């Protein structure tokens, strides 16, 4: 069985690599029982450092929309050059 693929950076997520589930619609905005995607923890942290819960619910509730966001696209391009287990401190919100 092959490793799942992160929907933001499109790298594989091997077993043992820091990972988390991302609610496509934030729980606080009605997405508690909605779809979730498995992603690298660093990718998940970058999403929440970039976008507010309201922005996520309103305009970024799909992996395609997340990848189209300019900052997230730059991040995904940068992190894609790192190994799947790469960990780095994600800076605070820069909105």
**Banded pLDDT at 90 (limits 50, 70, 90):** low
pLDDT at position 85: 83
Report the Cα 60 to chain-centroid distance in Å. 11
Residue from 83, 7, 94, 95 nearest 43 by CA: 7
pLDDT at position 86: 86
Q: Could you say which DSSP state residue 27 is in?
A: G
Other beta carbons less than 10 A from residue 39's beta carbon:
25
pTM above 0.85, yes or no: yes
Calculate what percentage of the chain has a pLDDT beyond 90: 82
Delimit the domains of the chain by residue range: 19-79
- Asked if the model's pLDDT at residue 27 lies above 70, the reply is yes
What confidence tens digit (pLDDT) does each residue in 54-89 have? 999 999 999 999 999 999 999 999 999 998 888 876
How far apart are alpha carbons 80 and 89 in whole angstroms? 16
């Amino acid at each position: 069985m092959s490793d799942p693929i992160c929907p933001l950076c499109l790298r594989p997520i091997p077993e043992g690599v820091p990972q988390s589930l991302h609610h496509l619609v934030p729980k606080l905005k009605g997405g508690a029982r909605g779809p979730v995607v498995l992603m690298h923890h660093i990718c998940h942290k970058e999403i929440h450092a970039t976008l507010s819960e309201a922005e996520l619910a309103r305009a970024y509730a799909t992996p395609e929309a997340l990848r189209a966001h300019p900052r997230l696209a730059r991040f995904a391009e940068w992190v894609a050059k790192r190994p799947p287990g790469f960990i780095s401190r994600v800076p605070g919100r820069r909105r």
